[in-house]
Amino acid sequence: MVERTGKFLLIVAASVCFMLILYQYVGPGLSLGSPSGRSYPEEPDLFPTPDPHYVKKYYFPVRELERELAFDMKGEDVIVFLHIQKTGGTTFGRHLVQNVRLEVPCDCRPGQKKCTCYRPNRRETWLFSRFSTGWSCGLHADWTELTNCVPGVLDRRDSAAAKAPR
């Protein structure tokens, strides 16, 4: 009889401990009310009014962020990839030439950092990036340098490709 009572008390004690632990972990997520019967107001808004000293430097309208552009790879469109240091640009640029499923995939030869990315119907490049053209406009060219440099580099490449014997 004493043996049964000991097992019963052990089961009751274990159940109470389990319920306390369960209440401690699950209870805060439930809205069970407060133990004293008083209800607390909802969490206060951390930023009730905008900071008058904060001025938006860049404003992007929603219509600009959600616009869709048609890229014609078989036409004359070119993607110019602006590489910015310390932003994962190297990984993304490599992804553009190695992992994107295209009609004519970029030709990446082992041991070389540059890949040739030609359009499906002719030997012209559709991607202007570090991994497709190299550092044609200088090391880590910014937007201004790329804007001034890219048209000339593409014209030189296209004229050289047109002059080359087939």
Catalytic residues: 140
Residue 17: its H or E element: helix 2-26
| Closest to 130 measured CA to CA, from 142, 113, 147, 146 | 113
Taking residue 162's Cβ as centre, other Cβ atoms within 10 Å add up to: 11
Phi-psi region of 134 (alpha: psi -120 to 50; beta: other; left: phi over 0): left
Q: Taking the C-alpha atoms of 21, 26, 29 and 33 in order, what is their torsion angle to the nearest 10 degrees? A: -70
Residue 98 contacts by C-beta under 8 Å, 6 or more apart in sequence?
Answer: 106, 108, 115
**Euclidean distance between CA atoms 4 and 7, whole angstroms:** 5
Q: Taking the C-alpha atoms of 63, 96, 125 and 121 in order, what is their torsion angle to the nearest 10 degrees? A: -90
